[in-house]
Amino acid sequence: MQANSQHAPVVVSGGSGQLGQELRIAFSNSSIHRPVIFTDREELDLSKPELFEVFFRTHQPAYFIHGGAYTAVDKAEEEKDLAYLINATATGEIARLCYEYNTRLIYISTDYVFNGQGTAPYAVDAATAPVNHYGYTKWMGEELIRKSNVFSAIIRTSWVFSSYGHNFVKTMLRLMSERSEIKVVNDQRGCPTYAADLADAISTIVQAWEKGDEHVGTYHFSNRGDITWYEFANAIRDMADKNCSVLPIPSAEFPTPARRPGYSVLDTSKISTDFGIEPKTWQEALHNCLLRLNASSNEGKGES
């Protein structure tokens, strides 16, 4: 089947999440002249893959951006079957239908597919070995896409933050407003990713494909530079001009049901080589996010 007419839409799963909200902005500013359908549980329930066939038959998308997922990392250790159903089984069914309907697929994966024992940025072909169930289900989603032979880009990302939704930046800002002192782990190193920049990268890939680019495969995208969560918290405090002490602690002092990789820095060179995407530094990305949060806060207060 063909789903590549100029009127065939772009479909986005996880439309109300951090990335989904940013994709609304990215696509509105892009040169893509296709309708864009943002779906949530009401339109496309990822826990019910048996219903996907009807959705594809109805919409016959040209592109499917699969950003929806089970993302509660710790809860996934309890709800293992549900996490697997949403992140693996549903992703495999989406990949199968994308192949059948000639729909190009972009799948958002995670740095948690790695075991965190690395000491240099992970290349896209580095060995995977997830240390928690969430990471395992996302890795299985990747594998099912590869086995489907669908035209696709798998994009692994890390430490996502945004002015939308729940994330580390917004949590830190709230805690720093409520407390004089907070403790943050200092033995997990990775790369923050501003969801707005990830959305722009996805838009760039779709635009490249629209123009005939044939690059596919596994990619990494994050903002440039690596830090620990403690260092990130300090940067948030300083940029936001908060008066709060940030104390470093080892992960052992902050136990969680799911293990986290100690090192998950991503090598983003392939996405730069294939699509010309050059990530901003995490400092610039954080600055841009805080500017938007401040603007939203001022709008909410209204004019005095």
What is the greatest pairwise CA distance in the chain?
60
| Three-class SS state of 168 | helix
Q: Which two tokens stand for residue 228?
A: 């620990």
Q: Which two tokens stand for residue 16?
A: 């109300």
Residues in the chain: 304
Distance between CA atoms of 118 and 188, rounded to whole angstroms?
Answer: 12
Q: Which two tokens stand for residue 35?
A: 């309708």
Cα-based torsion angle of the residue sequence 260, 265, 267, 272 in order, rounded to the nearest 10 degrees: 100
Catalytic residue, candidates 134, 136, 194, 219: 134
Q: Which two tokens stand for residue 166?
A: 């729940």
Distance between CA atoms of 3 and 6, rounded to whole angstroms?
Answer: 9
Of 34, 33, 39, 36, which is closest to residue 14 (Cα–Cα)? 39
Is 230 considered catalytic here? no
Supply the residues annotated as catalytic. 134
